[in-house]
């Protein structure tokens, strides 16, 4: 039976915060489709040091701009520039933050130049500017539990890696990560009681892959342990897994994070509302 795990607090409000302007200090291709961008800047001075795996918004320059035009501060919050100059917004994850060097790492899946964020990350060079708001998302990202399930694709890998690094040494659980092939695997630091299994999609389209659901549904789920499940990735896979763990294992909002990070063939502008509707369904 799943005892209720620690409560997930409401997302932090970022409405009145103005984004920070940061600068690229390093850009490295860590696997064939993962670009690690290290950001720095004076404006990271009060960035929290416990936000590993948390959500961030990044603000990217438009095609005619060298750097994004960030909002000014008004009495009721940020005042954004007109649509033509308003930065392009995407959601990413705090992979790692070092408060001493004031360096913040963000891992971008690079999937071609069609997506503005993927394009920006592919071509980013030291000195390039990017806006950043947050961190936000559930706090804590993982509720307390006796057994953890973490499952996701490459977009969730930065969060999964960051969460694993900070887990208590005696944590137990199972992690499934779906990537295209062996070359996308990364060495992960994790407690010895956590088993990490990589799943290879090969040529299957992300929205048609059932690898995560198949793996989780064949798992021998521990009886009588308080469980917390964390699921992130492509829309179809996240919804299928979310519905499975709710139906088969009775998980609910108190012990389940299930957020679709992207939807195949939809850009973020088109998918944004749908994602929020899906997240509101989780009670
Ligand atoms: C809370 C949260 C945290 C996230 N953290 C991360 C993170 O740390 N790293 C990360 O890489 N992503 C992360 N994402 C996902 C990221 O926001 C989306 O993938 C986003 O759509 C990328 O923007 P884009 O401008 O590159 O592409 P868009 O302009 O949004 O989309 C253009 C086209 O590319 C497709 N596409 C989008 N993403 C991918 C992908 N990953 N692989 C293949 N095709 C894709 C779209 O379906 C569309 O057809 C996160 C999302 C959320 C909600």
Ligand 1 nearest-atom number relative to CA 108? 11
Per residue, what are the HEC states of the chain?
CCCCCCCCCCCCCCCCCCCEEEEEEEEEEEECCEEEEEEECHHHCCCCCCCCCCEEEEEECCCCCCCCCCCEEECCEEECCCCCCCCEEEEEECCEEECCCCEEEEEEECCCCCCHHHHHHHHCCCCCEEEEEEEECCCCCCCCCCEEEEEECCCCHHHHHHHHHHCCCCCCEEEEEEECCHHHCCCCCCCCCEEEEEEECCCCCHHHCCHHHHHHHCCCCCCCCCEEEEEEEEHHHHHHHHHHHHHHHCCCHHHEEEEEEECCCCCHHHHHHHHHHHHHHCC
Kindly report the protein residue whose alpha carbon is nearest to atom 4 of ligand 1. Answer: 92
Distance 114 CA to ligand 1 centre (A): 11
CA–CA separation, 12 and 65 (whole Å):
30
- The CATH number that domain 147-281 falls under is 3.40.50.80
With b for 16 or more beta-carbon neighbours within 10 A and e for fewer, the 112-139 pattern comes to eeebbbbbbbbebeeebbbbbbbbbbbe
pLDDT of residue 86: 97
Distance 36 CA to ligand 1 centre (A): 15
As annotated, the residues of the chain forming the CATH 3.40.50.80 domain(s) are 147-281
CA–CA separation, 94 and 53 (whole Å):
5
Question: pTM of the predicted model, to two decimals?
Answer: 0.94
pLDDT digits (tens, 9 = 90+) for 2-57: 333 333 333 444 456 789 999 999 999 999 999 999 999 999 999 999 999 999 99
Overall fold of domain 20-135: Elongation Factor Tu (Ef-tu); domain 3 (2.40.30)
Distance 262 CA to ligand 1 centre (A): 5
Q: How confident is the model at residue 283 (pLDDT cuts 50, 70, 90)?
A: low
Distance 122 CA to ligand 1 centre (A): 13
Report residue 181 as tokens: 């092939």
Kindly report the protein residue whose alpha carbon is nearest to atom 34 of ligand 1. Answer: 115
Kindly report the protein residue whose alpha carbon is nearest to atom 27 of ligand 1. Answer: 115
Distance 192 CA to ligand 1 centre (A): 31
Report residue 19 as tokens: 């984004």
State the average pLDDT over residues 111-120. Answer: 98
Ligand 1 is surrounded, with C-beta below 6 A, by 55, 90-93, 107-109, 111, 114-118, 155, 158, 259, 261-268
pLDDT digits (tens, 9 = 90+) for 118-145: 999 999 999 999 999 999 999 999 999 9
As annotated, the residues of the chain forming the CATH 2.40.30.10 domain(s) are 20-135
Ligand 1 nearest-atom number relative to CA 153? 41
């Amino acid at each position: 039976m799943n005892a209720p795990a620690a409560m997930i607090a409401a997302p932090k409000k970022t409405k009145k915060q103005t984004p920070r302007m940061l600068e690229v200090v390093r850009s490295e291709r860590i696997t064939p489709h993962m670009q690690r961008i290290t950001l720095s800047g004076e404006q990271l001075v009060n960035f929290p040091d416990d936000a590993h795996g948390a959500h961030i918004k990044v603000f990217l320059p438009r095609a005619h701009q060298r750097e994004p035009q960030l909002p000014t501060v008004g009495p009721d919050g940020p005042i954004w520039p007109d649509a033509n100059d308003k930065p392009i917004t995407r959601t990413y994850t705090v992979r790692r933050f070092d408060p001493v060097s004031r360096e913040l790492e963000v891992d971008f899946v690079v999937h071609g130049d069609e997506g503005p964020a993927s394009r920006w990350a592919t071509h980013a060079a030291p000195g390039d500017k990017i806006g950043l708001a947050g961190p936000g998302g559930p706090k804590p990202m993982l509720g307390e539990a006796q057994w953890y399930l973490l499952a996701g694709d490459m977009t969730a890998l930065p969060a999964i890696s960051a969460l694993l690094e900070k887990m208590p040494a005696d944590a137990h659980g199972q992690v499934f990560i779906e990537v295209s092939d062996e070359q996308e695997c990364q060495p992960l630091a994790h407690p010895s009681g956590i088993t990490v299994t990589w799943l290879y999609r090969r040529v299957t389209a992300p929205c048609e892959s059932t690898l995560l659901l198949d793996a989780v549904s064949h798992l021998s789920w521990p009886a009588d342990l308080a469980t917390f499940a964390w699921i992130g990735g492509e829309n179809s896979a996240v919804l299928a897994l979310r519905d499975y763990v709710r139906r088969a294992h009775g998980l609910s909002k108190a012990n389940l994070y299930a957020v679709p990070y992207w939807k195949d063939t939809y850009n973020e502008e088109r998918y944004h509302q749908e994602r929020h509707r899906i997240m509101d369904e989780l009670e």
